[in-house]
Amino acid sequence: MNMKALTLPASIMDTISRLTMRFNIFANVKWGRLSVISVPTLWLAVFFFIPFVVVFKISLAESAIAIPPYSSLFEWDAEEAFLAIKVSLANYVYLFEDTLYIEAYWSSIKIAAVSTFITLIVAFPIAYLIARSDPQKRTLLLALVVLPFWTSFLLRVYAWIGFLKKNGVINDVLMGLGIIDQPITMIQTDFAVYIGIVYTYLPFMILPLYTALEKMDITLLEAAEDLGAKPYQSFFLVTLPLAVPGIIAGCLLVFIPAVGEFVIPALLGASDTLMIGRVLWDEFFLNRDWPMASAVATVMLIILVLPIMLITNRTETKEGAK
Amino acid sequence: MKRRSVFLNTSSLIGFLFLYLPMISLVIFSFNESKLVTVWGGWSLKWYVALFENEQIMQAAWLSLKIAFITSTLAVVLGTMAGYVLSRMGRFRGKMILSGWIAAPLVMPEVITGLSLLLLFVAMESMIGWPAGRGMGTIIIAHTTFCLAYVAVIVQSRLAMLDETLEEAAMDLGAKPSSLFFLVTLPLISPAIISGWLLSFTLSLDDLVIASFVSGPGNSTLPMVIFSKVRMGVTPEINALATLMIAVVTVGVIAAMYQMRRQSKLSAQFK
């Protein structure tokens, strides 16, 4: 009896201590840490990730004259107690049947790729010059590169309208100098779109290139020269390979947003300059076909995500190998 | 060697001219008396007067400034948390996902972000009744989402540069995690937080596409008004507006450079 009286509280004590141990384990989880991690994660989950799921869902719906203007995927039939799921691939079928969309994707990728390449060519000497100049001049030059980025993107695109239009600055100067006697049509052409993209995305290319080139050991070039390499050889065999991480980063930062660009083709391009960002915009704002706009967005996302995943996987395996 | 530097200097000069000439012409023509933007009619400030008298532009500018202010403050809080989590909290489940979610908004085409957020807001409204209607609130949420990614990247790179020994010393001296952050880490990363705030402010003030998707009727932000005006052709008031913006940014960049130079001189003295 006594024994039992003793063991019972003891077992209770034991249980309680185990319980408190449990609580101690909880204490180790550190609520502070957990909440610091979860607040930004939850924000991005709700406002960045889930929206893509919603876009995908609505891309499977049908356009309807209603508010919101699409059919619902799930319909609850109360009489039959039956949940009908109506998934329609019609938008995707239409997307691949109508040549407009395919052409728009193709021409966006083409325009983005060509302008990314031009941006690279324009940016490389600037980045190289900055990386090789002395620290004081370097700060000034970097500020000159960064400054346009801080001013309004929309207004910088607008500046080119005044520059390129029929009685704009370029035509006036060329005609004043007597080089041409008829104004050249530059605004509302694909040429203007290329200019616009190169112009607005140039800082995004220069900065990663600069970071890569700045890290480069200058003695490598001296070694190459001592071993008899000509300047162009040491450029292609030493400088360029060392700049590859910067080139990849810069090209991604320019290419991906350029594919979906809307403002530049809308302001500088011709009415028949096909770019997918503009098609999506028109589908949404003019035709009010939300499901079709969602299908266009979903396919664009797939086209863009694949190269990113390939490249990040590659760099990660490289870093893992180090 | 000599020839190469000539090539470098010329091509860089062309590059910088390419960057700056359109902006310079924008500024010059904002002082043009003539309504025809490319015909010079003498110096005048009348477009600045017209700008400030334009009720529509002023209202939109005020709305955009309010949105930008709230957005950048929210984005700094959330982005600093995200950047700190990614660089100082070691491994945890979902770290890869979080870093992916931080990187993706930086390159995501704006039409996709805008459309997807709008569809989310519409779906949420019909399911839980929030957000009721669209307007300033939804624009702030949308802007905060992409601005916080920029802040996180800036804070993360600043933390990566920082010497961890200061934080370790504070921990050895018995600082709690919260006081460690607020008394040691936060002052050290404050430059990154300030530039993150300024960048968020600029990005929010400048965004046309995302705001067009998620704003409601009667909530036109400044870029939306500019876009609709510019589509009709060149308007000198917009030149005046652009000039004011360029002036503010130039002063800011010069101040930042001055500050950086002073700091590097200071640290040189201590060496």
Architecture of A98-288 per CATH?
A: Orthogonal Bundle (1.10)
CA dihedral B118, A270, A203, A48 (to 10 degrees): 10
Q: Is the pLDDT of residue A12 over 70?
A: no
Query: Higher model confidence: residue B259 or residue A294?
Result: A294
Q: What residues of chain A lie within 8 A of the CB of B195, using their CB?
A: none
**pLDDT, tens digit, for every residue of B48-69?**
998 898 899 999 999 999 999 9
pLDDT above 70 coverage of chain B, percent: 95
What confidence score (pLDDT) does residue A65 get? 65
Q: What residues of chain B lie within 8 A of the CB of A43, using their CB?
A: 78, 144-145, 148
CA dihedral A303, A304, A307, A311 (to 10 degrees): -160
Judged by CB atoms within 8 Å, which residues 52-71 of B form the interface with A? none
Contact state of B22 with A33 under an 8 Å Cβ cutoff: no
Closest CA to B246 of A143, A147, A196, A197: A147
Q: What residues of chain B lie within 8 A of the CB of A41, using their CB?
A: 82, 85, 94, 97-98, 101
Contact status, residue A115 vs residue A204, Cβ threshold 8 Å: no
**pLDDT, tens digit, for every residue of A94-140?**
888 888 899 999 999 999 999 999 999 999 999 999 998 888 888 88
Contacts of A81 (CB under 8 A, 6+ apart): none
Measured CA to CA, the distance from residue B138 to residue B147 in angstroms comes to: 14
Give the angle subtended at the CA of A62 by the CAs of A61 and A64, to the nearest 5°. Answer: 125
Instruction: Put residue B165 in one of left, alpha, beta given phi > 0 → left and psi -120 to 50 → alpha.
Output: alpha
**pLDDT, tens digit, for every residue of A199-227?**
999 999 999 999 889 888 888 888 888 88
Contacts of B249 (CB under 8 A, 6+ apart): A147, A150, A151, B202
Q: What own/partner pairs with CB < 8 Å and gap ≥ 24 does B186-190 have?
A: B188/B162, B189/B80, B189/B155, B189/B158, B189/B159, B189/B162
pLDDT range class, residue A91, cuts 50, 70, 90: confident
Lowest mean pLDDT among A61-65, A117-121, B12-16: A61-65
Measured CA to CA, the distance from residue B250 to residue A147 in angstroms comes to: 7
Of A233-237, B179-183, B192-196, highest mean pLDDT? B192-196
Q: Is the pLDDT of residue A75 over 80?
A: no
pLDDT range class, residue A22, cuts 50, 70, 90: very low
Optimal mutation site among A150, A169, A289, interface B, most CBs of chain B within 10 A = A150
Contact state of A47 with B120 under an 8 Å Cβ cutoff: yes
Residue A41 sits at the chain B interface (C-beta within 8 Å):
yes
Helix A50-59 to helix A290-321 angle (10° resolution) is 130
pLDDT, averaged across chain A: 81
pLDDT range class, residue B270, cuts 50, 70, 90: low
Q: Residue count of chain A, please give it.
A: 322
Q: What residues of chain A lie within 8 A of the CB of B123, using their CB?
A: 54
Contacts of A5 (CB under 8 A, 6+ apart): none
**Three-state DSSP state, B224:** helix
Least CA distance to A49: which residue of chain B?
Answer: B101
Q: Is the pLDDT of residue B71 over 90?
A: yes
Judged by CB atoms within 8 Å, which residues 207-246 of B form the interface with A? 208-209, 212-213, 223, 226-227, 230-231, 233-234, 238-239, 241-242, 245-246
Compute the average pLDDT of residues B209-225.
90
Residue A260 sits at the chain B interface (C-beta within 8 Å):
yes
The conformation of residue B182, written as its DSSP 8-state character, comes to: I
Optimal mutation site among B119, B213, B222, B265, interface A, most CBs of chain A within 10 A = B119
Contact state of A284 with B226 under an 8 Å Cβ cutoff: no
Q: What residues of chain B lie within 8 A of the CB of A163, using their CB?
A: 21-22, 25
**Three-state DSSP state, B175:** coil
Residue B166 sits at the chain A interface (C-beta within 8 Å):
no
**pLDDT, tens digit, for every residue of A24-48?**
444 445 677 788 888 999 999 999 9
Compute the average pLDDT of residues B184-203.
90
Structural domains in chain B?
57-235 (1.10.3720.10)
Compute the average pLDDT of residues B10-21.
89
